[in-house]
Structure 1
Amino acid sequence: MLDNNQLLRFTTAGSVDDGKSTLIGRLLYDSKSIFEDQLVAIENTSRKKGHEGVDLALFTDGLRDEREQGITIDVAYRYFTTPKRKFIIADTPGHIQYTRNMVTGASTANVATILIDARHGVIEQTKRHAFIASLLNIPHIIVCINKMDLVDFSEKIYNKIVTEFEEIASKLLVTDVRFIPMSALLGDNVVNKSENMPWYQGAPMLHTLETMHISSDINKIDARLPIQTVLRPQREGFLDYRGYAGRVASGILRKGDDITVLPSGFTSKIKSINLHNTELDEAYAPMSVSVTLEDDIDISRGDMIVRSNNKPEPSQDIEVMLCWLNNTSAKPRTKYTVKHTSNEQTAMIKEVVYKYDINTLDRISNNSELNMNDIAKVRIRTTKPLMVDSYRENRTTGSIILIDEATNETVAAGMIV
């Protein structure tokens, strides 16, 4: 039964000590999704640290530095199932210097859960995480107003925070925002409904996640097959085989389809589609397949097969919403490696069109310096054309990363406008 359940990916985000790891620990603990040996190990570690009960944050904070400092540094992924659904959780750090990890953890999420400390209300990190969730086109946001036990479960404080966040959400491209007052430490409104907040008539967090409708984020219309490699097996029966292998990024490809190879523009028809040793009539995202064509065309890694009646325009000048992730500021006219699907090119940032003020969400012009955690609209010039779609239409072909050629560090992640 569980194999047929819909998978939901959600990420946690919030400022330092808002209780993200504790919330995930409570979710796993109360839903009985923890193995007995894990529970024993966490109980032993909790006793060594002098805690009276189980330190729920230890279920996700697995790195040694995380346990020593009591903070989350890296993205921690956890998997669990209930009778209604399967889940993948990405527990992301709250420290501002680790905001880049939040971008990584949220990039494939269906739902973003943003935690707010009821004592502090909406702060800068709350606005930053909400903005990133909007940029990443995450369709659902659950705002968890945590630590309600520290404000005497006050409905007035809860309503004030809801109003503050709704003002932010009104400026973002977010359609579904839900609010849950809770105490992750005590378990109020996480798995079980709280008896301390009878004024809250909504469902607890787990029930909300189990019943939320999740539509697929895969573009089913635009057929895109980025080529990873060319297969030339030297064995009997395949001596004349030339297959173009890759993972279908979006849409559906069928035998007999008229296709165009980009960026060259050559056209042909799909002769066969193979998955291992099986021939298929069609392939769809996210299948990894090999296709053969009726014509002999020069195709290599980084090229893209698309349907002839539905193709992107190859472009060397691209507008991107960029999240700068590196400690070192962006240098004008510096060469970077841009990775887009299976394509790698040399690129440089031509222009910073504007940056965002995270506190007000206003645009800042005439400021071309990009520092860590800055979010800006930029124009990028590549040495060869990229076959791109906008990120809101296609997450796979609409995203890029920039890599420093000298250090090989990923310095930025971008969503194509």
Structure 2
Amino acid sequence: MDTGDTAWILASSALVLLMTPGLAFFYGGMVRSKTVLNMMMMSFLALAIVPVLWVLYGYSLSFSPDGNQFLGGFKRLGLDHISQGTAYGTIPEYVFVAFQLMFAIITVALISGAIADRAKFGAWALFIVIWMTVVYFPVAHWVFDFGEHGGWIATKLKAFDFAGGTAVHINAGAAGLALALVLGKRVGWKRDPMRPHNLPFVLLGAGLLWFGWFGFNAGSAVGANGLAGLAFVNTAVATAAAMVGWLLVEVVRDKKATSLGGASGAVAGLVAITPACGTVSPLGSIAVGVIAGILCALAVGLKYKFGYDDSLDVVGVHLVGGIVGTLLIGFFATKGNTGGIGSIFYGGHFEQLGKQAVAAGAVLVYSFVLTYIIGKLIDVTIGFRISEEDEVLGIDQVEHLETAYDEAGIIGGSALKTGV
């Protein structure tokens, strides 16, 4: 085992953990003031539940060496048969357990943005448990397990997904679309303004996500090496290019560049480069970023055309961005970064694009169908959505008996100043 590799993956694990509180700020700033606490708590609840599931059986179902190409085995239940001396490549297996745990946490947290303002907190907790078990753990095995009995996408199909474009973003985006359909539209959707209540929160969240994403992507090299360096550079460059691409769309379409657009563009770039950061060159990462920024900026309007209320654009950013990044590997991957496998623009090879499409499509369909079934079952048993009256009042007050801001105090202070 290598101490440098171990230190880097431990640091990367901490960086990826920070992404979930960053997501809480990003999503929290995008909702109205009466729902911000609930929105942020949905992310923090993932932080509370997923680590317990991961130790009990999640890691085993994802990475146990006694599984098959569709699901890990049971040898690692309760993290049994792991000791401080057990290795995963050049790092202790416990370190790999910690790193992959952070991916599991943020994946389910991403889904919450699609159902902002209207989901029962208890129903969301139950959804986390079932969805992680039925959807995430199997898909993580498909994509991330390269062992002797590893997942079919990683070892049989041999599609490239360096850090989770399929397992994290397409998975969460498809699930978000399914839940948005199950829960239905928010009260007043399309009629009432539902503007972000705190844009500085959105920018802070995007900044924390960008910072943490270096651990997400460069850490997926599972070592302190040149591949980690490539992923680090590509993550920085593609994110910047996507932000430029999104803002250009706004300037052409609306004549103004917005802070919300800048933050969303950065996240779209982070999403798209996630699967590709280890296979494309820095020049290719610019192309991936610009294309993702433009397409995701256009995709967020699809919900108005097709009539689904994806509250915070999980579909437009994560599903579309994940698909874009996964497919663009088939166009921009270089042989020097893939071990000799070419792409359309680097060697004129079309085969890899087909493999990327199969991987993206399989995860999309599996996640959407299973999530829709899970959401429906929860809805018809304990109910997934709060009442219309409670939604109008504000989910923070109803579900948590709290409000983010002392509005009465603010009003009172203003009245004293004006002499009213």
If the TM-score is normalised by the length of the shorter chain, which range does it land in? Answer: under 0.3
Normalising by structure 1, what TM-score?
Answer: 0.23
Flag the structure with higher helix content: 2
Normalising by structure 2, what TM-score?
Answer: 0.23
Say which structure, 1 or 2, has more relative contact order (CA 8 Å, 6+ apart).
2
